[in-house]
Amino acid sequence: MAIRSLEDLALEGKRVFMRVDFNVPLADRDGRQAVSDDARIRAALPSIQHCIERGARLVLGSHLGRPKGKAKPEFSLEPVAAHLAGLIDQDVLLTDEPVGDGARKVVGDLREGQVVLLENLRFHPGEEANDEGFARSLASFADVYINDAFGTAHRAHASTAGMVSLVAERGAGYLMLKEIEFLSRLLGEVDRPYLAVLGGAKVSDKIEVLEALLERVNAIVIGGAMANTFLAAQGGELGKSKVETDKLPLARNFLRKAGERGVTVHLPSDVVVADSLDTEAGRAVAVDAIGAGDMALDIGPDSATSYADEIGKARTLFWNGPMGVFEKEPFAAGTLAVAKAVAGNPHALTVVGGGDSAAAVVQMGVADKISHVSTGGGASLEFVQGLTLPGIAALEGA
């Protein structure tokens, strides 16, 4: 069913509750917490500016970190409010709690074009519990509900699901609609070959999406520590590498299914190893030459080259997850090589599924050469599996 956009809704003079994803990293700056990466905030700016220009009384709601239902100063949205104020060049009010008399008064006093950011929604246990009372309190702040937080759309929380049906008018922001548009294209008829590139630490985290993609793709490229488990499932000796030994039967079963369906699975032929994550440099070895004291921490240069070749042949591509321990410079080369290759394919629909993959294309300065860089890692994985995301389902048919 169709989801209404900002243009479809009467916003003038209305209290508009917009769920945004301001779960951004903070860092100490001159003794104060400050936003260290504002990509998620900037992604919401088109929707925020549209509401301001239409004369909405804008109430923003977000979570930050995992305060587990308690108010904790280190998870306050105060630095985010200050940063947003600078980006939109106007004051952003911050409530002292997500709901309650204080928050109600601030929202009630809003004038057209003003913006208030509710304090961290997860300071209240009702957010993650999708508590009806908390949902009703949030809904009381709104004449119109907008969800522009795709990164939380796979969570059935009070601000993403519970409150939505309690607000008469509802729709999606520009970011949410763009995410739905591009990710939906991966579920329909696509240009082929269709290649999935999946990395990360655990087979257990990705097996469901791997299984779902077997029904859609022509080939799958696997990297990261989860490649170790697949190599071990084929009888490889991985030394001290991270291997999910309890998932070896699962990995073997997946490889068998892929063979039966004619889906090619590419695993590393070489890896970068070291005896410690803190080493200043690793060394490349063939996968059959990993020593007893070695840890495989990145795909090797030969694998990076062959993966880039496969990426270059693709006409549809989905990438989620790093090829190695991307946050450590000696083990980032494989992920950066994949980012470069994805950006270097001008003929494909290329979708990068958030997280470290998104960070890699930004670090390489090639995000503008990708068809779509998703803001939601977990949400994008569930979407490409064809699963129903509660935050999107709540908007349908409004």
Residues carrying an active site annotation: 40, 202, 355, 378
Angle, vertex CA 14, rays to CA 12 and CA 18, nearest 5: 105
Dist. CA 75–CA 279, nearest whole Å = 33
Residue 272: its H or E element: strand 270-274
Which tokens hold the place of 247? 């998932």
Which tokens hold the place of 153? 């759309």
Taking CB atoms within 8 Å and a gap of at least 24, the contacts of 49-52 are 49/88, 50/6, 50/174, 51/6, 51/11, 51/16, 51/18, 51/146, 52/88, 52/90, 52/113, 52/115
Alpha carbon of 111 to those of 19, 43, 391: distances in Å? 19, 25, 28
With a CB cutoff of 8 Å and minimum separation 6, the contacts of 106 are 93, 95, 116
Helices (H), the chain: 39-53, 78-88, 101-108, 132-139, 174-185, 203-213, 225-233, 248-261, 301-313, 333-343, 355-363, 377-384, 390-393
Block residue for tokens 């977990």:
378
Dist. CA 102–CA 114, nearest whole Å = 17
State whether residue 76 is helix, strand or coil: coil
CB 9 within 8 A of CB 169: yes
